Structure 1
Amino acid sequence: MLWYWGADIKIENPERLSPQQPTVLVANHQDTHDIFFAISIIRRGTVVLGKWEVLYIPFIGALFYLAGNILIKRKQKQKAQKALGQAADKMKKKNLSVLIFPEGTRNWGKPLPFKLGAFKLAIEAQAPIQPVCFSLRHSTMDFRRWCSGTVKVKCLEPISTKGLSEDDAVELAVRCRKLIEAECIKISQ
């Protein structure tokens, strides 16, 4: 799809995408095209946390599941929490990093408030959070043209979760969203 759109991707601080330990990558979520751009930040040993409904997308759902990504039933809170606990165990045992779009829904503008799952997962796994900003494509790309534009990706400074408890998840989510929002606006100009 990137070739089809003629899109360029420029990543700032790409070394932060290959950490020496399990990490929870959090990124802003704009639309269904995100997966095509997210591929540029996924490194060996990184899986994606996605909603269960992805399985119903013909072909793509099966590939998503078979690639070892983690599916979660968001509407069933107990099952979602259990899945996050299993993901934390998987991160530790298999040295995996997890990419999550914590807004929980697509959004063209500045990031919406983040859901807490990504931050609870990072705290439970005692894994750092790696904030990742994608430029706001509605202002940096024109999908009607062959060379549609450039997607800028900036990997911010990792945020440690050492010593944090589940009670710190809300503050951590707000802090991370503010960092990503400010940087998204900056790199989209």
Structure 2
Amino acid sequence: MHPSESLNNKQAGVGTHPLRFILWLMIISSTMAFAAFTSAYIVRRGEGNWLDVDLPQSMLINTIVVLLSSVTMQLAYYFARRDEISRVRIFLIVTFLLGIVFLIGQWHVWSELVLDNVHFGGGANPAGSFIYVLMGFHGAHIIAGLIFLAKTFNKTLQYKIHSRSMLPIGNCTIFWHFLGGLWLYLYLFLLLNH
């Protein structure tokens, strides 16, 4: 079998494409990192010197924004399968804008925390530091997701995404859904553990 045929078979579902495999490795490693952070949160909370922090209401708005962005990303994928590239572009742009709104919302959450006298490295109360670290690390992942979205959008401009070339938008969709699910996990974790 010719090497290019082998690669095409992997794209067609006979195996796992190397880019998809790398994506899954990234998702697994990120999941492990967040599991370590949330485990450390629970352990540190049990050691005392811990004052629960009231979560800003704007975190709920951010949760709605990130879940809505998952819907728009799925619509982009759906229209790519139907070769409706102009709609793919529209929903990628909407997803990108919702990602920006989410980051602005995170900044607003941090501002609310500061107004409530919850600071990173506050010394007297480590709970605030954990919240900043969890949200900041997720924010860094959102920035990576926005870069991924921009590259995927660029491929639509070059007509490299269509029903016979779904790997780029498929990977982008998987990663973006992962970010939405990760945020939902963090939000519920913080809500239930404060």
**When the two structures are superposed, what TM-score results if normalisation uses the length of structure 1?**
0.26
Report which of the two structures shows the higher radius of gyration computed on alpha carbons.
2
What TM-score do the two structures reach when normalised by structure 2? 0.26
